[in-house]
């Protein structure tokens, strides 16, 4: 989905508060900065009459973008993320400056050339500068791309738009879901237990406490409940740092199987394919997912608790499993009254269960391969 802004209405509000003015041209609105503290082209900008933006793009910008009084900067190493940002930027008929950042420790010169050629093919533009970082090992396939555009008018309008969409995400479920997709693609980390290789947490990095509070509001609106306390930001001069060389950024922590199921159900990982593959692969190793997958053999027919105990060779009645599946709407129940016998409950798998299995089956090959 895309949110559409009336550019003239937007500029009117901005010009009431900040030292800007605007004029109408042919199919465009030209915004100018009235107080010129410096000379240059970036004191004016021509906007289209309508500005369209996807909430997921706003999530990406809030997560990994930077906007100040003069410029917009965005950095990421994922191909799909970069394409989404460029698709949004190109509606303004501008070409950002592009820098490729590569960690050169323990890599060959060929890697840099291949990375540069690959990115230029993706963005259909020339990379102006390559920044080499000798102190780090490379952790990405093609390095990190930095998009930068200098213009005070563009930066101000973009700042207002992202703030407006972020506020809407705190009260609107559809916008919140799309917005969080971008946030997770930008700042989300899939955490796996080393010993069991099970998924145990999704961590969304956010240094400022106010930003963590904002993310949690949007997550709750999207249907994700937060059970963990935030990971606080610790600076290297903080007594809690214990002589660390660097500090530690804060984060919102998402745990529990039910939240992982919801994340899968509402497709919160669709933007970043690498994170999605890792999530699916290790989600299938979780204990709850494993025993749910065992129900595939029962098919869509009525069964009792005793049937389940015999099929899965359990020592006791699987009451906890039944309760959990009823809560998830994965099974439905009915009570039957045979002649001369006590009433008993029977259960049958629902379409929700098979949708869950189909989604796992569809993603599992790419996750494992």
The residues near 113 (Cβ < 8 Å, ≥ 6 apart) are: none
In the prediction, which pLDDT does 369 show?
Answer: 45
Taken in order of first residue, the domains within the chain and their CATH numbers are: 3-167 (no CATH), 170-283 (3.10.28.10), 287-368 (1.10.10.10)
Distance CA 270, CA 56 (A): 11
pLDDT value at 178 more than 90: yes
pLDDT band at 308 (very low <50, low <70, confident <90, very high): confident
In the prediction, which pLDDT does 246 show?
Answer: 66
pTM for the complete prediction? 0.90
| 3-state secondary structure at position 26 | coil
Judge residue 252's burial from the number of C-beta atoms within 10 Å of its C-beta, 0-12 exposed, 13-18 middle, 19 or more buried. buried
pLDDT value at 129 more than 50: yes
In the prediction, which pLDDT does 58 show?
Answer: 97
In the prediction, which pLDDT does 65 show?
Answer: 94
In the prediction, which pLDDT does 244 show?
Answer: 67
Distance CA 142, CA 274 (A): 14
Q: 243-292: per-residue pLDDT in tens?
A: 766 678 899 999 999 999 999 999 999 999 999 999 999 999 999 999 99
- 329 or 33: whose pLDDT is higher? 329
Q: What percent of the chain has pLDDT over 90?
A: 63
In the prediction, which pLDDT does 40 show?
Answer: 55
pLDDT, mean over the chain: 89
Q: 60-117: per-residue pLDDT in tens?
A: 999 999 999 889 999 999 999 999 999 999 999 999 999 999 887 777 778 888 889 9
Encode 50-85 in three state secondary structure. Answer: EEEECHHHHHHHHHHEEECCCEEEEEECCHHHHHHH
Q: What percent of the chain has pLDDT over 70?
A: 92
Token look-up 């990406």 returns: 60
In the prediction, which pLDDT does 234 show?
Answer: 84
In the prediction, which pLDDT does 368 show?
Answer: 45
Residues in the chain, total: 369
Distance CA 152, CA 76 (A): 23
What is the DSSP track for 264-312?
HHTTTTSS-HHHHHHHHHHHTTSHHHHHHHGGGGG-SS-B-HHHHHHHH
- 138 or 46: whose pLDDT is higher? 46
């Amino acid at each position: 989905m895309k949110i559409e802004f009336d550019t003239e209405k937007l500029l009117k509000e901005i010009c009431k508060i900040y030292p800007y003015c605007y004029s109408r041209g042919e199919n465009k609105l030209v915004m100018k900065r009235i107080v010129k503290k410096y000379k240059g082209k970036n004191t004016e900008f021509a906007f289209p009459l309508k500005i369209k933006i996807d909430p997921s793009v706003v999530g990406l910008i809030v997560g990994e973008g930077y906007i100040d009084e003069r410029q917009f900067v965005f950095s990421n190493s994922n191909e799909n993320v970069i394409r989404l940002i460029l698709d949004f930027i190109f509606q303004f008929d501008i070409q950002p400056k592009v820098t490729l950042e590569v960690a050169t420790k323990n890599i060959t010169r060929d890697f840099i050339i291949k990375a540069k050629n690959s990115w230029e093919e993706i963005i259909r533009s020339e990379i102006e500068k390559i920044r080499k970082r000798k102190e780090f090992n490379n952790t990405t396939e093609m390095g990190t791309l930095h998009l930068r555009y200098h213009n005070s008018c563009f930066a101000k309008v973009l700042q207002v738009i992202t703030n407006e969409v972020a506020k809407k995400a705190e009260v609107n479920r559809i916008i919140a879901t799309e917005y969080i997709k971008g946030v997770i693609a930008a700042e989300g980390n899939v955490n796996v237990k080393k010993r069991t290789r099970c998924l145990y947490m999704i961590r969304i990095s956010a240094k400022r406490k106010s930003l963590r509070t904002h993310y949690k509001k949007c997550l709750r609106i999207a249907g994700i409940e937060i059970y963990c306390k935030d990971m606080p930001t610790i600076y290297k001069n903080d007594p809690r740092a214990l002589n660390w060389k660097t500090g530690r950024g804060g984060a919102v922590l998402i745990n529990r199987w039910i939240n992982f199921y919801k994340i899968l159900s509402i497709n919160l990982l669709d933007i970043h394919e690498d994170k999605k593959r890792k999530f699916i692969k290790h989600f299938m190793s979780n204990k709850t997912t494993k025993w749910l997958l065992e129900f595939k053999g029962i098919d869509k027919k009525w069964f009792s608790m005793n049937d389940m105990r015999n099929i899965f060779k359990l020592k006791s009645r699987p009451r906890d499993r039944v309760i959990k599946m009823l809560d998830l709407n994965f099974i439905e129940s009915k009570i039957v009254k045979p002649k001369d016998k006590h009433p008993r409950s029977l259960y049958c798998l629902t379409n929700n269960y098979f949708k869950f299995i189909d989604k796992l089956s569809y993603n599992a090959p790419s996750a494992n391969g």
